[in-house]
Structure 1
Amino acid sequence: MGLPKDSELRESLTKRPPEDMRQLMRRIEEYKHLEGDRLQNKGKAPLLGRSRQGVFPTRLKKDFRMQEPEAQIGGVNVAFKEPVHKILDRIKNESFFRWPNKMGGDPSRRNQNLYCTYHRDKGHTTEQCRVLKDHLGQLVKAGYLKEFIVDSDN
């Protein structure tokens, strides 16, 4: 009710109402990330391959943001020295590492050509996994992964 009429989030929720609170929160987070990306890319060339079908234009044929692995810590991006899938391989057996909950949503609606090692499921790549990047960001903040970040001033 409080969303602007021209909001993509409102349009999405109207066309496909979420089945539960978890799905609603996931879609809101996707929208927030999409808006953040739009603001970050304002004035730059638009990203290619945006799909108008589905919830949001999140399925990109080439996601330029994934070229430099980053995580958010308190609103600040942290760049890693190596791709997140390599970091995952090196820390997956550590006591501080936690595997995620099962991905929500309808598995048949996910891209079956993409696989996330962190979720151990299809739908997105490990490099695109926001949940993994958030977890790595939390681990950096807790002091576990300082050797993996480019700038350890945080």
Structure 2
Amino acid sequence: MPNHINDLDKYNRCVEDIGELLQRTVRICQLFEREQIKIHGFTSSQCHILLEILKNETLTINEISAKMNLEISTITRIMDILVRDQLLVRNRLSHDKRIVEASLTEKGKQEAYKLQETIRDYYKNVISYLPPGHVREVMSAVELLLSAVERSTRRSL
């Protein structure tokens, strides 16, 4: 019986440690987004929409909503601002007028490329602080953790 209690204590400490690490990671990423994206004049959500559309050329509002895990009404409000600022355009599909696709304007592409470069520079800086030869190991561990978080999230919804 003592081993079982000892194992349970270790397990509970591990749960607490993972929770704290994840919370710290989320907070640091949020701070990065606020500080680095804000200098370009965008919110985090606006930035992510611009980058997703840049990556995919065009996306429907439903696709953006699914990728960002946000309600369609929220995406629509954010996109209204991006359309107003002439960063993206919305078009109804000719074969189904109910579906609206978004694509970047030339100005939107320029801004998205700037955001992409800022984010890339940030991650280059992060990688520079990893011990030499351990980048792949860290990537593998983060992928495992991300997969577990995604699976846990889907299960609890």
Which TM-score bucket, shorter chain as reference?
under 0.3
User: TM-score, normalized by length of structure 1?
Assistant: 0.24
Largest Rg, 1 or 2: 2
Q: Comparing both structures, which one devotes a greater share of its residues to helix?
A: 2
